[in-house]
Each structure stands twice: as C-alpha cells, then as structure tokens.
Chains A and B, each alone.
Chain A
Amino acid sequence: SAVISQKPSRDICQRGTSLTIQCQVDSQVTMMFWYRQQPGQSLTLIATANQGSEATYESGFVIDKFPISRPNLTFSTLTVSNMSPEDSSIYLCSVEGTFGEQYFGPGTRLTVT
C-alpha cells in the first residue's frame, strides 16, 4: 500500500480566493485521483491526473475551476479556484493499488466563508 500525505490538512478561506492542495505519495504511481466529499454526501471523483498529460475531468468538473498539476510521478496539486461556500468539502487524493483498490490521503477539509 502507498503512504499518501496532503497539505494543508484544513483551511478556512474567503469566497473569491483560491486554494492549492498538495498531494505527495511515497512511491511512483502512474495515476493519481482527486475526490471531493461534500457534507453528508458520498465521495465524488473530480479528475484523474496522469504525469505528463492533461488531467481528465469527470462530468460536472472543469479545468478552470479545478486546475490540476502533475509534475512528476509522486506529486500532484489540485487548486480550487474562485471559491464559494458551495466548495466547502473534504478534498482527497488517491492512488490505485495492485488489485484496483484505491488508497487515500488523509484529506483536506476546506471551509469557505
């Protein structure tokens, strides 16, 4: 299993600002995933990030709002842009294990005021 860290662990931000969340993995991985869990909701996949190519976004998520970087095989960032209170969520990154299971980071709890 992979060990995944995220920064920051939590933040409180003003509406209209942007926050960049970092995800670091202790081993090289081809794909990294970004999820969002809104209060009382399930985890929803935002996008899949491959190193060296554009991220693939799920329906309802766009690059202008959630730009993603993947500069190498152990690191990725997700930016939440022009934030509104509706963006208040837990944001999680994950990587895939050997048998298709996913390993998650501890999450970033974002509150937008």
Chain B
Amino acid sequence: DQQVKQNSPSLSVQEGRISILNCDYTNSMFDYFLWYKKYPAEGPTFLISISSIKDKNEDGRFTVFLNKSAKHLSLHIVPSQPGDSAVYFCAALSPSGTYKYIFGTGTRLKVLA
C-alpha cells in the first residue's frame, strides 16, 4: 500500500518554463512533507519542506504547495534550468512518533535547453 504517490514517473520541460511535480498521500495524519532531488550515483539531497500548518513555502526558485483537503502537494520550479534535471522524491513524516519518512517513487525531470 503506497501511502505517498508520485503518479508521473517522468516530466520534460523547456528551459525557463515552470516545472510542476505532483505528490499525493493517503494518510491525513501526515503533518510534515519534504522534497528531495537525486542525481545519478548520488544520494538524495534535501530541497524544501513544508509543515501542515502552512499551505505554501518558498525558497528561491522552488515553491512547495500543500492542499490538505486534497492530500496533495506540488513542487514548482521557476524558471527551470538544465541543472534541475534529476529525480525528485516527495516524502512524508510518519505520525507514528518515530523518525520514519515515507517516500514516493520519484519523478524524473528533464529540463530541455
């Protein structure tokens, strides 16, 4: 049972345009979400996070939006750059009290020059 889902395995975007990566979750008790970026042969790198008390968090070109009623979050990258080409994972912190993050399967973003 996949509690965190990234339904788009891949996405291609033209350089300079907006990239929108989506993530859905099933457990309404999740209250902290993160996005990670992963380049080949490297570990995931933390990008941005959002707490359930917010609906938006912005850091430079990266903005994460959280829609709790829809159990949906999205990562917007504006403007997209070729260096943003990577696999992006969303993750949710399990409410079980442990430090357990539940990850989605990832979306491979390709930014075309």
Contact = CB atoms under 8 A, between A and B. Distances in A.
Given A40-B105, A42-B4, A48 B43 contact: no
B100 interface: yes
A46 to B, nearest CB: 11
Interface in B1-60: 2, 4, 32, 34, 36, 41-46, 49
Given A92-B43, A99-B49, A107-B43, A42 B89 contact: yes
A42 B105 contact: yes
B46 A43 contact: no
A45 B100 contact: yes
A29 to B, nearest CB: 12
A4 B99 contact: no
B93 interface: yes
Given A42-B4, A42-B89, A101 B34 contact: yes
Interface string B75-99: 0000000000000010101000011
Interface residues of A, number: 27
Nearest to B42: A106
A100 B32 contact: yes
A43 B45 contact: no
Contact of A48 (B4, B98, B105, B106): B98
A81 B98 CA distance: 26
Given A42-B4, A101-B34, A106-B41, A56 B46 contact: no
B101 interface: yes
Contacts of A99: 49
Contacts of B4: 42
Interface of A: 1, 4, 9, 31, 33, 40-45, 48, 56, 58, 92, 94, 96-97, 99-107
12 contacts: A4-B43, A9-B41, A41-B105, A42-B104, A43-B44, A44-B103, A48-B99, A100-B49, A100-B93, A101-B49, A106-B42, A107-B41
